[in-house]
C-alpha cells in the first residue's frame, strides 16, 4: 500500500500536465507531457497517466516501461536515471472505449540535482499481435510498391507489413536539495566562435552561426540577437534576432542562427552577439555579450552577393519611446506655443541622449530645446520643452525632432514629425514618384521593386501614407497582381522623401510584358500620385527582367 505521506507528496510537487493528451491510432494518453518542477531528493512521487482506447470494437494490449533516447542524461548513465522510476502495471489490457490508469513512481536518491529527461513508453504488446508478413495472390497487372522498392513488372504477390503503435510521454524530473535555489552563472553558458556562411534559406543572404554549450545542470532558455558593426566597431550596420528561442538541455550543445536579409560586401567587420539566458521556470536572466572580428573574403562575398532579399528591413532604430508621436499646431500672429515632449528609456541600461531639430522645408527657424542633452536611467522618463522662433512669420515650419543615444551610434534616430502652419495658409502638393527600379533577388526567385516619393520644399504635408502595387498582363489585359507595398515612413513632409518597397515571386509570372503601376496616397492631405512602367520578362536572356518607361 502507498503511504499517506507519499500520496500527499503528489500535491506538494509542481507538475506541468498538459490537459490535451496525445492521440495516435485511436489511443489517447493524458497528460502528453510531464514536468516535475520540484522533486526533492529522497521523496517518493506518484504520477498518474491515463490511457484510453478510443476504438469501438478492438481490445488493445500494451507494455509500459521507462526509457531514454540517449546513453547519458545530464552527464550520468541513462540506466541509472531509469532506476529512479517504477511503473505499475507493466502490462495493461484495455477494452473498446475503456481507460486504464498507469502509476509512475519517481524517487531521486540523495546527491543528484538538475533536470533529467526520460520517456514513459506505451507500446502495443508484440506477443498479442500477429506480425507475420501476409502474402495475397494478385490477378492485377499494375506495378506496386514492394518492401519500399518500385516494381514495374507484373507482381505475383502483394506484401502487407503491420507496425506496432508506440507512444512516448516526455517526463522531465527537476531534482533539488531541500531549500535549494537555482542560480545560473554566466560561465555556465558558453558561446563559441561566430561564423558567417551563405544562408540555406532562399529569402536570406547570410547566416551568423555559433555553438552554445549549457554547462549547468538545468534546462536553459536562450534568446538574443546578432549585430554587424563596421571595422572599428563604432557604427551599427545591421541587426537581427535569433530565429527562435532555444531550450538547451543540461551538458548539451545547441546551434544558434541569425539570418540576415542583406549580404555584406567584401571587407572587415565586427560582429556582436547579445544573449539572454535563464533557467526554464526562473525569471532571473543573465546577459552574455560576445564581440569578435570577421572577414568577408572575396569568395564569401561572391557566394552571398546574389542571395537574400534586397532592401530587407534590418535597419536599427534608437530604442526610445516618445510622446506625442506628432507635433501639429496652427500659428496665430507668428507665435508658436511651447511644446512639451516626454522621453522614455524602455531599456535595461542607462542612456545618454542628445536631441536636435532637423528642418526639411525652406525657412529660417531656431529651435530651443531644454535640456538638449540628458541622461535617463533604465525605465525612467523625462520631460523636455521645445520652442520655435521663425524669421518668416508667414511661412510654415516642417521637420523632425530627432533623438539619438551614444550606445546606438549608427542607428536610425527616434523622431517626432513637426508641422506648424500659419493661420489661413494655402498650399499645394509638390510630391512625385522618382525612378522605378526592379531587381531579381532571393536567389533569382523574387522580383523586388523600389521607388522614392519626393516632396518639394514649398509643398504640402501628406500624413498616414498608403501604397499599392499592381501588375497587368498587357497581352491579355488581366490583372495578375495587386498588393499593398511597404513604406519607410508613414508621413511625407516637404523637402523629405519616402522609399517604397514591394515584391512578387518570380515563378508567378510567365514570360511577357506587364504594366507595373505604383500608387501612393495619404489619408490626410489628399495626396494621390502614381507611376507606371512596362516590365519585360524573358528567361532566355541573362538579365531576365527589364523596365521600360512609358515616356
User: Does pLDDT of 15 surpass 50?
Assistant: no
In a domain, 311, yes or no: no
Residues 418 and 439 both lie in one domain: no
Region 64-79: mean pLDDT is: 93
Please tell me the distance from the alpha carbon of residue 124 to that of residue 64, in angstroms, as a whole number: 9
pLDDT of residue 308: 56
Residues 405 and 485 both lie in one domain: no
Number of domains in the chain: 4
Please tell me the distance from the alpha carbon of residue 507 to that of residue 512, in angstroms, as a whole number: 13
Between 73 and 446, where is the model more confident? 73
pLDDT of residue 461: 92
Residues 342 and 386 both lie in one domain: yes
Residues 418 and 435 both lie in one domain: no
pLDDT of residue 18: 38
In a domain, 46, yes or no: yes
In a domain, 121, yes or no: yes
Average pLDDT, the chain: 83
Residues 406 and 473 both lie in one domain: no
Give the confidence band of 443 by pLDDT, cuts at 50, 70, 90.
Answer: low
| 349-399 pLDDT tens trace | 888 999 999 999 988 889 999 999 999 998 889 999 999 988 888 889 999
Give the confidence band of 142 by pLDDT, cuts at 50, 70, 90.
Answer: very low
pLDDT of residue 47: 92
Q: Which residues pair with 159 in a beta bridge?
A: 135
Q: Which of 394, 422, 450 is the last residue of a domain?
A: 422
User: Does pLDDT of 227 surpass 80?
Assistant: yes
CB 68 within 8 A of CB 173: no
Region 253-277: mean pLDDT is: 90
Task: Calculate the alpha carbon distances from 259 to 48, 96, 239, 309 in Å.
Answer: 43, 51, 10, 11
pLDDT of residue 357: 93
pLDDT of residue 200: 82
Between 384 and 20, where is the model more confident? 384
Residues 105 and 202 both lie in one domain: no
Residues 456 and 533 both lie in one domain: yes
Residues 386 and 523 both lie in one domain: no
Task: Calculate the alpha carbon distances from 405 to 320, 344, 350, 383, 539 in Å.
Answer: 9, 12, 10, 16, 48
User: Does pLDDT of 30 surpass 70?
Assistant: yes
Residues 251 and 201 both lie in one domain: yes
pLDDT of residue 128: 82
Question: Of the spans 158-172, 206-220, 326-340, which averages the highest pLDDT?
Answer: 206-220
Q: Which residue range forms the structural domain that includes residue 249?
A: 186-305
Residues 172 and 193 both lie in one domain: no
In a domain, 155, yes or no: no
pLDDT of residue 379: 84
Between 232 and 161, where is the model more confident? 232
Of 456, 451, 440, the residue nearest 533 (C-alpha): 451
What CATH number did the domain enclosing 502 receive? 2.60.40.10
Please tell me the distance from the alpha carbon of residue 214 to that of residue 191, in angstroms, as a whole number: 9
Q: Which of 396, 422, 448 is the last residue of a domain?
A: 422
Q: What is the DSSP string of 471-512?
A: EEETTT--EEEEEE-EES-SEE-TT-EEEEEEEEEGGGS-SE
Residues 235 and 335 both lie in one domain: no
Residues 32 and 111 both lie in one domain: yes
pLDDT of residue 23: 54
In a domain, 134, yes or no: no
User: Does pLDDT of 306 surpass 60?
Assistant: no
Amino acid at each position: 500500500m502507498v503511504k499517506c505521506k507519499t500520496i500527499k507528496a503528489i500535491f506538494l510537487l509542481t507538475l506541468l500536465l498538459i490537459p490535451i493528451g496525445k492521440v495516435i491510432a485511436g489511443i489517447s494518453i493524458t497528460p502528453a507531457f510531464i514536468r516535475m518542477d520540484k522533486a526533492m531528493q529522497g521523496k517518493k512521487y506518484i504520477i498518474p497517466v491515463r490511457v484510453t482506447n478510443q476504438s469501438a470494437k478492438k481490445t488493445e494490449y500494451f507494455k509500459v516501461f521507462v526509457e531514454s533516447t540517449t546513453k547519458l542524461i545530464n552527464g550520468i548513465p541513462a540506466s541509472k536515471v531509469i532506476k529512479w522510476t517504477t511503473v505499475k502495471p507493466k502490462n495493461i489490457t484495455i477494452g473498446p472505449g475503456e481507460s486504464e490508469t498507469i502509476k509512475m513512481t519517481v524517487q531521486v536518491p540523495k546527491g543528484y540535482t538538475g533536470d533529467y529527461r526520460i520517456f514513459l513508453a506505451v507500446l502495443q504488446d508484440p506477443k498479442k499481435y500477429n506480425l507475420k508478413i501476409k502474402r495475397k495472390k494478385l490477378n492485377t497487372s499494375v506495378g506496386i510498391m514492394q518492401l519500399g522498392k518500385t516494381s514495374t513488372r507484373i507482381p505475383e504477390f502483394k506484401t502487407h507489413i503491420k507496425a506496432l503503435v508506440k507512444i512516448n510521454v516526455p517526463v522531465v524530473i527537476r531534482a533539488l536539495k531541500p531549500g535549494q535555489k537555482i542560480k545560473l552563472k554566466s560561465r555556465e553558458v558558453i558561446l563559441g566562435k561566430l561564423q558567417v556562411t551563405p544562408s540555406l534559406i532562399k529569402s536570406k543572404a547570410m547566416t551568423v552561426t555559433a555553438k552554445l554549450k549549457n554547462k549547468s545542470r538545468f534546462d536553459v532558455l536562450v534568446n538574443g540577437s546578432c549585430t554587424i558593426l563596421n571595422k572599428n566597431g563604432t557604427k551599427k550596420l545591421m541587426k537581427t534576432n535569433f530565429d527562435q528561442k532555444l531550450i538547451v538541455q543540461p551538458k548539451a550543445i545547441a546551434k544558434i542562427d541569425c539570418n540576415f536579409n542583406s549580404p555584406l560586401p567584401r571587407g572587415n567587420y565586427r560582429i556582436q552577439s547579445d544573449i539572454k539566458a535563464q533557467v526554464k521556470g526562473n525569471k532571473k536572466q543573465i546577459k552574455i555579450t560576445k564581440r569578435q572580428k570577421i572577414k568577408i573574403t572575396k569568395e564569401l562575398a561572391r557566394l552571398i552577393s546574389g542571395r537574400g532579399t534586397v532592401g530587407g528591413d534590418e535597419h536599427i532604430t534608437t530604442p526610445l519611446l516618445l510622446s506625442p508621436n506628432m507635433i501639429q499646431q496652427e500659428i496665430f500672429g507668428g507665435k508658436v506655443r511651447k511644446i512639451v515632449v516626454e522621453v522614455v528609456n524602455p531599456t535595461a541600461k542607462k542612456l545618454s541622449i542628445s536631441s536636435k531639430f532637423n528642418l526639411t522645408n525652406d525657412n529660417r527657424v531656431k529651435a530651443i530645446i531644454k535640456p538638449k542633452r540628458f541622461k535617463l536611467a533604465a525605465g525612467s522618463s523625462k520631460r523636455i520643452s521645445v520652442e520655435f522662433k521663425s524669421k518668416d512669420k508667414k511661412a510654415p515650419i516642417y521637420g523632425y525632432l530627432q533623438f539619438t543615444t551614444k550606445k546606438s551610434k549608427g542607428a536610425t534616430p527616434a523622431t517626432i514629425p513637426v508641422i506648424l502652419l500659419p493661420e489661413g495658409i494655402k498650399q499645394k502638393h509638390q510630391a512625385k514618384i522618382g525612378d522605378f527600379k526592379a531587381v531579381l533577388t532571393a536567389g533569382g526567385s523574387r522580383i523586388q521593386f523600389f521607388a522614392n516619393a519626393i516632396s518639394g520644399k514649398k509643398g504640402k504635408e501628406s500624413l498616414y501614407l498608403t501604397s499599392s502595387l499592381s501588375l497587368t498582363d498587357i497581352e491579355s489585359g488581366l490583372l495578375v497582381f495587386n498588393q499593398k507595398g511597404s513604406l519607410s515612413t508613414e508621413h511625407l513632409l516637404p523637402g523629405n522623401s519616402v522609399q517604397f518597397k514591394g515584391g512578387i515571386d518570380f515563378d508567378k509570372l510567365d514570360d511577357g510584358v506587364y504594366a507595373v503601376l505604383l500608387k501612393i496616397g495619404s489619408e490626410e492631405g489628399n495626396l494621390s500620385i502614381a507611376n507606371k512602367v512596362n516590365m519585360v520578362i524573358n528567361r532566355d536572356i541573362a538579365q531576365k527582367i527589364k523596365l521600360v518607361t512609358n515616356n
